[in-house]
Amino acid sequence: MLPKAEIHVHLEGTATPQLVQQMAQRNEVEVPDHIFKSSELFAWRDFLDFLNTYDLASSSIQHPRDYYDVTYDYLQRCAQQGAIYVEMMYSPEHAERASGIPSREHLLAIDQAIKDAKELFNIEGRTIITCVRHFGLDACVKVAKHTVEAAAEFDTVVGLGMGGDEAGYPPALFKTAYDIAAAAGIPCTIHAGEMDGPERIWEAIETLPINRLGHGVRAIEDPKLIDAIIERDIVLEVCPTSNVVLGVYQDYQTHPLLKLLEAGVKVTLNSDDPPYFGTTIGEEYDIAEQQFGLTQAQLRHITKTAIQAAYVDKTTQQQLLARC
């Protein structure tokens, strides 16, 4: 099986409806029925409704045991699809808000699940702590400070990220939060150029200490921006199915994956939120082959790009590259 790597997936967004229902039941949390389409898929209408559905489903994740199960379950499924490395964005605010349990306890559980999955399935997992834009700047500064402490304690905590409502909350708003993480040597990424245009990507790369972009696909609309991304060696975390399902592009034919590759941009393949978008990391590789016509050699190259861009320590990175 072709080795695969994923560097853009939301940990809370990997929990299947089946697992969310189990956790809701054992934690006695009410989750409305209308968010479930099937045991494998969530139901939502548009981007803001997706974010709301995501927050509702995530409210079922309350205890460290829940985070253990979500992490272990996802890494097991990824390993079965040939993934050798997965970097998962964990949002400390979701569980802290829902349960009041300090994030450190959740991180202990995630760390244990990552170690167990490594031992049992030979897959490396790492955690990026992620802020949520629509929770505001103060919350993000708190998350950035927490990331500095967590990265010092857990060798599986490796970076800072940010998702949420891009159009309502532009990147520059969050400079203080990013500067806190970068000053402590923590590498950073941000969603930009997904729900807003290339001007937001410019804003992100000009004001924030980032070396990767979540999505970033709308950079294709601005040739100078493409040049800047290449010159600054910024890697794109591309999620083709997420973009099509959320309506950023009408279909795979109009998605800019191939144009970005042809322009010389470093591109990776990712699933984003698998049960919301009806995909998996394995399927994203299949789609890249079948819909975009990428060869096995190109797909292997994409895995290498992801591992080279990963926020993992150098020793593990070399071991992973040897498996590609």
13, interface contact from ligand ADE, Zn ion, none, CB < 5-8 Å by kind: ligand ADE
**From 6, 194, 237, 284, active-site residue:** 194
Q: Give the containing element (helix H, strand E) for 9.
A: strand 4-10
Q: Rounded to the nearest whole angstrom, what is the least distance from the CB of residue 107 to Zn ion in the complex?
A: 20
Tokens read off for 83: 């993934």
CB 81 within 8 Å of CB 281? yes
Q: Is 200 helix (H, G, I), strand (E, B) or coil?
A: helix
Taking the C-alpha atoms of residue 324 and residue 321, their distance in angstroms, rounded to an integer, is 5
Sign for the CA dihedral angle at 210, 95, 51, 39 comes to positive
196 binds Zn ion (CB under 5 A): no
Q: Which is nearer to Zn ion, 124 or 194 (CB)?
A: 194
164, interface contact from ligand ADE, Zn ion, none, CB < 5-8 Å by kind: ligand ADE
Q: Which is nearer to ligand ADE, 173 or 321 (CB)?
A: 173
Q: Give the containing element (helix H, strand E) for 322.
A: helix 314-322
Q: Which residue is nearest to ligand ADE (CB)?
A: 163
272 binds Zn ion (CB under 5 A): yes
The type of residue at 100 is G
Q: Rounded to the nearest whole angstrom, what is the least distance from the CB of residue 171 to ligand ADE in the complex?
A: 13
Q: Rounded to the nearest whole angstrom, what is the least distance from the CB of residue 296 to ligand ADE in the complex?
A: 28
CB 115 within 8 Å of CB 125? no
Is-catalytic flag, 28?
no
Tokens read off for 195: 């729900």
Binding site for ligand ADE (CB under 6 A): 10, 13, 54, 163-164, 191, 194, 242, 272-273
Residues near Zn ion (CB under 5 A): 272
- Provide the annotated active-site residues: 194
